[in-house]
């Protein structure tokens, strides 16, 4: 790798670490002008930064604003590179499609949105339905886009039971195990996830990315 290229990749990673969308977009454009394969820009440049921040967050060294801003900077860079990828006919292989929602009767948003940001930043195609979503909406969307994962959030002990209802409905319609289900939220435990037969649960947004990769069989990516 030329020194210039190496420097560019490093700058790309740094722009994500700094959570600076302006610079990450600028660097993405520069890489297009330099005829760098957009996939290289993503995997050898920007993704390195996302992984770093994710690790730092796990260690307690980085904080939520940094995590979110890194995710946003990543999304912006990828959006800049997307047309180029399409043009070259080598659309970035997505990690999979994910439908995210907070269950019916629950309006808590932040945790789920964080998971969405981190999943997008890690190469998943995320459709975030928002809060207070009934089972039929969530399932309908998953079928419509051909999702590989449904992620459900609940912050209340009174609404977490809705997660089970959605899973039961999906089972009834024969959608599983093709579509995996991950659950999260403050009252959610591993035991609960097992009890309602979800495919996995995570404590935080960084863990959710690892879980989602495992669920789509790309744990090494």
Check if the beta carbon of residue 76 is closer than 8 Å to that of residue 117.
no
DSSP 75-104: HHHHHHHHHHHHHTT--PPPSEEEEEEEBT
Binding mask 118-157 for another protein (x = CB under 8 A): ------------x---------------------------
Which part of the chain contacts another protein (CB under 8 A), choosing from 4-12, 92-100, 109-117, 134-142? Answer: 109-117
What is the rounded distance in angstroms from the CA atom of residue 120 to the CA atom of residue 134? 23
Q: Is 72 in the site for another protein (CB under 8 A)?
A: yes
Residue 152 Cβ, how far from another protein at the closest point, in Å?
17
What is the rounded distance in angstroms from the CA atom of residue 145 to the CA atom of residue 89? 21
Q: Is 103 in the site for another protein (CB under 8 A)?
A: no
Q: Compare residues 146 and 187 and give the one whose CB is closer to another protein.
A: 187
The residue within the footprint of another protein, chosen from 44, 97, 108, 213 (CB under 8 A), is: 108
Q: Is 205 in the site for another protein (CB under 8 A)?
A: no
Check if the beta carbon of residue 149 is closer than 8 Å to that of residue 168.
no
Q: Is 26 in the site for another protein (CB under 8 A)?
A: no
Measured CA angle at 139 (ends 135, 145), to 5 deg = 150
Q: Compare residues 7 and 189 and give the one whose CB is closer to another protein.
A: 189
Q: Which residues of 140-168 are buried (b: 16+ CB within 10 A; e: fewer)?
A: ebbeeeebbbbbbbbbbeebbebbbebbe
Q: Is 64 in the site for another protein (CB under 8 A)?
A: yes
Sign of dihedral through CA atoms 175, 95, 75, 121? positive
Which part of the chain contacts another protein (CB under 8 A), choosing from 43-51, 133-141, 186-194, 209-217? Answer: 186-194
What is the rounded distance in angstroms from the CA atom of residue 107 to the CA atom of residue 153? 10
3-state secondary structure of 124: strand
Q: Is 113 in the site for another protein (CB under 8 A)?
A: yes
The residue within the footprint of another protein, chosen from 26, 40, 109, 165 (CB under 8 A), is: 109
Q: Compare residues 88 and 107 and give the one whose CB is closer to another protein.
A: 107
Q: Is 214 in the site for another protein (CB under 8 A)?
A: no
Query: Could you list the residues that contact another protein (CB under 8 A)?
Result: 19, 60, 63-66, 68-69, 72, 108-110, 113-114, 130, 186, 189-190, 203
């Amino acid at each position: 790798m030329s020194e210039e290229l190496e420097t560019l990749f490093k700058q790309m990673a740094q722009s994500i670490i700094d959570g600076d969308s302006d610079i990450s977009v600028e660097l993405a454009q520069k890489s297009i002008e330099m005829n760098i394969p957009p996939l290289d820009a993503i995997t050898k440049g920007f993704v390195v930064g996302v992984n770093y921040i994710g690790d730092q967050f796990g260690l307690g060294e980085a904080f939520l604003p940094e995590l979110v801003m890194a995710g946003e900077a990543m999304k912006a860079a990828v959006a800049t590179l997307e047309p180029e990828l399409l043009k070259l006919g080598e659309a970035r292989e997505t990690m999979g499609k994910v439908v995210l929602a907070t269950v019916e009767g629950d309006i808590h948003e932040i945790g789920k949105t964080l998971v969405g940001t981190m999943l997008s930043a890690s190469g998943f195609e995320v459709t975030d339905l928002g809060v207070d979503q009934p089972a039929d909406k969530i399932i309908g969307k998953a079928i419509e886009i051909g999702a590989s994962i449904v992620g459900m959030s609940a912050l209340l002990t009174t609404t977490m039971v809705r997660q089970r209802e959605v899973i039961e409905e999906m089972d009834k319609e024969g959608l599983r195990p093709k579509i995996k289900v991950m659950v999260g939220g403050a009252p959610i435990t591993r035991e609960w996830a097992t009890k309602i037969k979800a495919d996995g649960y995570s404590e935080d947004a960084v863990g959710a990315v690892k879980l989602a990769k495992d669920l789509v069989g790309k744990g090494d990516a």
